Amino acid sequence: MHSVEPVPLPHDCPSDVSLWRIDFAFDASLEDAAFAALSDDERTRAGKFLRHEDALRFASVRVALREQLARHLGIAAHAVRFKLDANRRPHLADSNTLDFNVSHAGSHGLIAMSSKRRVGVDIEHRGESFDWHSITTLTLDASEAAWIDHLNIEAQRAAFYDAWVAKEALVKTTGVGIARGLQHLTVLPRDSAEVTLRNVIPDDMREIAARWIAAPEAYAACVAWSAKTFAR
């Protein structure tokens, strides 16, 4: 079955932000007891995936998310209820005390959670079979693309994925930025684990911070959070 492990975060991350990594077991069945907490809607959604691996990724992350939320809420995992906001971002239906975000790619998934602020997370597999050049205009600012062009081939791939995960984590934190596309943000060149927004910083990103985090080999990952905390 899949495994869930806490991920250490940089020391300058807020203490209320938690992160877990899910390692998928693709030989599992959706009928296994580990997936008992899934709702009927979640089972239906999993069943619509054409590939078993994609269904397992979705189901494994959703079960792990239910288990982590249930521990915080003091309820059973199957009792956790979700709703979508106006931007189709999931949130708890019965509580506004926790924010969460998930991502998965390849053999791994990530769950970010906070009891005080909004969070976003992204993980991507730097697979050699994927032509990342095909989406540079959708992902990179022109200055980033020009900077990457001066790197060697392997460094280009790593830099592209660093940019991709950072931007995804940032816009997933706001829940609205993705509508404008990732290329409206500039995060390269990278000079530390801290994500630095360069050039023009959109208003909805002025109170968002992010850090690149350690990821399994051939993966890139980033977590982001809002400086502003929930109103109580």
2-18 pLDDT, tens digit per residue, is: 899 999 999 999 999 99
Output the pLDDT for position 159.
Answer: 97
Query: Coil, strand or helix: which one is 160?
Result: helix
Write down how long the chain is: 232
Q: What are the boundaries of each domain within the chain?
A: 3-116, 122-229
Q: Which residue has 């809002």 as its token pair?
A: 226
Question: What is the C-alpha separation between 69 and 64, in angstroms, rounded?
Answer: 9
How far, in Å, CA of 183 to CA of 163, rounded?
10
pLDDT tops 90 at residue 230 = no
Summarised one tens digit per residue, pLDDT across range 34-93 is: 999 999 999 999 999 999 999 999 999 999 999 999 999 999 999 999 998 888 889 999
- pLDDT number for residue 202: 85
Asked if 3-116 and 122-229 have one fold, the answer is yes
Give 89-146 pLDDT, tens digit per residue: 899 998 888 999 999 999 999 999 999 999 999 999 998 889 999 999 999 999 999 9
Average pLDDT over residues 194-211: 92
| Residue 37: both structure tokens together | 């907490």
Read off the pTM. Answer: 0.95
Q: How confident is the model at residue 181 (pLDDT cuts 50, 70, 90)?
A: confident
Proportion of the chain above pLDDT 70, given as a percent: 97
- Homologous superfamily of 3-116 in CATH? 4'-phosphopantetheinyl transferase domain (3.90.470.20)
CB-side neighbour CA atoms (13 Å) of 192: 7
Which of 37, 36, 32, 4 is CA-nearest to residue 20? 4
Which pLDDT score is estimated for 1? 65
Q: Which CATH class is domain 122-229?
A: alpha beta
